[in-house]
């Protein structure tokens, strides 16, 4: 199975002004040279902490941002700089579900209009839209009469179901899920997660699942990429990564999972210091300041992403 989506050396910089008296233009290097591919039918989990660039990658794939450099390929075609009609065509294949169930739905629109929006944008008639919306509501296990209601009448979990329904309305092949359950209670979270899994099987979807919650990512993904400060530090099959993470940052991340069982506590790896800002990243390895296994050369030279085992990539001088 070939890759459905691929990004090659993607860079996205945001120019910002820094300094008070002397304004200096610096780049916020949100994504600084990331490459990976997602096979059809897979769920690719992208993990990292805040500011690592995972959300930005999702937005570049959705073409909400245009990359500063690098390429985005979809189904073999270069979609990096599409505009106009070609962009619309691309958008038919890729949709998204975002984190905040309260902010992602226009509070003044009825639910059927919200779900049917992508269809209405394509010029479908109201009648056809309503029919399709009924189908979709069924698919996400919501009662069909809620089409007439407003978002604020629904709970957070139900709103995410609506967001999923909307994402599915035009039959995309690929869905970007950006922290869809982080703001939900445990009871809603489990039903949404089950639904995401179920829909993938049923509709043959491919997912990019972005999250900082490692337990959830493990539950959903078959391949996982760990990001730190705009770069990919480890990329491997999910089982391999969770079994034996190699990069010091991955290990610290996995050690930070809070396991809901008082008898099973992971070995603590406590990193010193804070998450680095992507504004002026250091020259060498970005994890240098917090790494507990530094050796000579880590400070000056940036480690490249190398394949140390089949399909297992890592960017670290230790390997």
Partner 1 sequence: MRRGLGELRKDLSIIDVGKGTARDERTLKLKKQFRRIPKAAALIILLLLVCAIFSPLIAPHDPIEQNLANALKPPFWQKGGSFAYLLGTDNLGRDILSRIIYGARISVIVGFAGVLVSGIMGTFLGVVAGYFGGKIDLVIMRLTDIMLSLPYILIAIAIIGAIGPGLTNIIIVLGITQWVGYTRIIRFEAMSLSKSEFIEMAVISGTRWWRILLVHILPNVLNSAVVLGTLDVGKMIIFEAALSFLGLGVKPPTASWGGMLADGRVYLTFAWWLATFPGIAIAITVLGGNLLGDWLRDELDPRHQLKA
Partner 2 sequence: MGNADCGLRNEETWNKTLVEYGGELEMKTLNSELQTPNSGDPILEVKDLQIHFFTDRGVLRAVEGVDFSVRKQEVWGLVGESASGKSVIGQALIGMVAKPAGRIVSGEVFFKGEDILKMAPREVEKIRGNQIAFIPQDPTTALNPLLRIGFQIGEAFKYHRGMEASNIPEEIVKVMGVVNIPSPEQRLNDYPHQLSGGLKQRVIIATALSCQPDLLIADEPTSALDVTIQIQIIKLIREIQDRFQMTMILITHNLGLVAKMCHRVAVLYCGRIVEEAPVRGLFKDPKHPYTRGLLASLPKGEKGNVELYTIPGQLPNPLYHPPGCSFSPRCPHALSKCQEIPPMEWSSEDHRVRCWRWKEI
Please choose which of partner 2, partner 1, none residue 305 contacts, taking the beta carbon within 5 to 8 angstroms, the exact cut-off set by kind: none
Phi, psi (5° rounding) for residue 220?
-100, -30
Please choose which of partner 1, partner 2, none residue 118 contacts, taking the beta carbon within 5 to 8 angstroms, the exact cut-off set by kind: partner 1
Closest CB to partner 2 among 129 and 241? 241
Binding residue for partner 1, selected from 77, 92, 128, 299, defined by CB under 8 A:
92
Q: What is the largest CA-CA distance in the chain?
A: 68
Q: According to the binding rule CB under 8 A, does residue 117 interact with partner 1?
A: yes
Binding residue for partner 1, selected from 3, 26, 73, 109, defined by CB under 8 A:
109
Query: In whole angstroms, what is the distance from residue 203 CA to residue 201 CA?
Result: 6
Q: According to the binding rule CB under 8 A, does residue 166 interact with partner 1?
A: yes
The distance of closest approach from Cβ of residue 163 to partner 1 in the complex, given in angstroms and rounded to an integer, is 8
Please choose which of partner 2, partner 1, none residue 274 contacts, taking the beta carbon within 5 to 8 angstroms, the exact cut-off set by kind: partner 2
Closest CB to partner 2 among 129 and 210? 210
User: Residue 281 burial (CB < 10 Å; 0-12/13-18/19+)?
Assistant: middle
What is the token pair recorded at 1?
A: 């199975």
Query: In whole angstroms, what is the distance from residue 220 CA to residue 58 CA?
Result: 17
H or E stretch at 313: strand 312-314
Give the position of tokens 């209405």.
120
Query: In whole angstroms, what is the distance from residue 193 CA to residue 181 CA?
Result: 8
Inter-residue contact 175 to 95 (CB < 8 Å): yes
Region binding partner 1 by CB under 8 A among candidate stretches 107-115, 138-146, 295-303, 309-317: 107-115
Please choose which of partner 2, partner 1, none residue 227 contacts, taking the beta carbon within 5 to 8 angstroms, the exact cut-off set by kind: none
What is the token pair recorded at 137?
A: 């509501």
Closest CB to partner 1 among 63 and 286? 63
Query: In whole angstroms, what is the distance from residue 231 CA to residue 299 CA?
Result: 16
Determine the size of the site formed for partner 1 (CB under 8 A). Answer: 27
Closest CB to partner 2 among 193 and 305? 193
Region binding partner 1 by CB under 8 A among candidate stretches 71-79, 92-100, 180-188, 218-226: 92-100
The distance of closest approach from Cβ of residue 146 to partner 1 in the complex, given in angstroms and rounded to an integer, is 18
At CB < 8 A and 24+ separation, what contacts does 189-198 make? 189/157, 189/216, 191/157, 192/157, 192/160, 192/161, 192/164, 193/219, 193/220, 195/140, 195/141, 195/161, 195/164, 196/164, 196/220
The distance of closest approach from Cβ of residue 265 to partner 2 in the complex, given in angstroms and rounded to an integer, is 5
The distance in angstroms from the start CA to the end CA of the chain is: 29
The distance of closest approach from Cβ of residue 281 to partner 1 in the complex, given in angstroms and rounded to an integer, is 25
Q: If DSSP codes are grouped into helix, strand and coil, which group holds residue 127?
A: helix
Query: In whole angstroms, what is the distance from residue 78 CA to residue 69 CA?
Result: 13
Please choose which of partner 2, partner 1, none residue 299 contacts, taking the beta carbon within 5 to 8 angstroms, the exact cut-off set by kind: none
Q: According to the binding rule CB under 8 A, does residue 88 interact with partner 1?
A: yes
Please choose which of partner 2, partner 1, none residue 95 contacts, taking the beta carbon within 5 to 8 angstroms, the exact cut-off set by kind: partner 1
Q: Could you list the residues that contact partner 2 (CB under 8 A)?
A: 43, 49-50, 155, 157-158, 185-191, 193-194, 197, 212, 214-216, 218-222, 238-239, 242-245, 251-272, 274-275
Q: Which residues bind partner 1 (CB under 8 A)?
A: 59, 62, 64, 88, 91-92, 94-96, 98-100, 103-109, 117-118, 120-122, 163, 166, 170
């Amino acid at each position: 199975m070939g890759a459905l989506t691929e990004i090659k050396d993607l860079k996205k910089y945001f120019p910002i002004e820094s300094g008070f008296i002397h304004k200096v233009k610096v780049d916020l290097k949100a994504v600084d040279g990331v490459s990976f591919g997602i096979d059809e039918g897979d769920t690719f989990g992208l993990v990292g902490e805040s500011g690592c660039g995972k959300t930005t990658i999702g937005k570049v794939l959705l073409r909400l941002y245009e990359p500063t450099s690098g390429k985005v390929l979809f189904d073999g075609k270069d979609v990096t700089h599409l505009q106009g009609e070609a962009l619309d065509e691309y958008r038919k294949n890729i949709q998204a579900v975002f984190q905040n169930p309260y902010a992602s739905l226009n509070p003044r629109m009825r639910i059927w209009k919200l779900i049917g929006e992508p269809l209405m944008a394509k010029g479908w008639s109201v009648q056809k839209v309503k029919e399709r919306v009924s189908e979709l509501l069924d698919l996400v296990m919501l009662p069909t009469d809620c089409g007439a209601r407003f978002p604020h009448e629904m709970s957070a979990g139900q709103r995410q179901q609506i967001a999923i329904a909307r994402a599915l309305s035009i039959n995309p092949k690929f869905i970007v899920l950006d922290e869809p359950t982080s703001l939900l209670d445990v009871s809603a979270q489990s039903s949404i997660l089950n639904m995401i899994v179920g829909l993938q099987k049923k509709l043959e979807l491919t997912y990019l699942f972005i999250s900082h919650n490692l337990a959830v990512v493990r539950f959903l993904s078959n391949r996982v990429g760990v990001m730190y400060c705009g770069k990919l530090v480890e990329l491997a099959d999910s089982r391999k990564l969770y079994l034996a993470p190699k990069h010091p940052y991955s290990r610290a991340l996995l050690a930070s999972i809070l396991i809901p069982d008082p008898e099973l506590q992971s070995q603590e790896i406590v990193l010193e210091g804070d998450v680095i800002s992507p504004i002026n990243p250091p020259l060498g390895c970005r994890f240098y300041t917090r790494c507990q296994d530094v050796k000579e050369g880590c400070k000056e030279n940036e480690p490249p992403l190398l394949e140390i085992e089949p399909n297992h990539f890592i960017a670290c001088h230790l390997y």
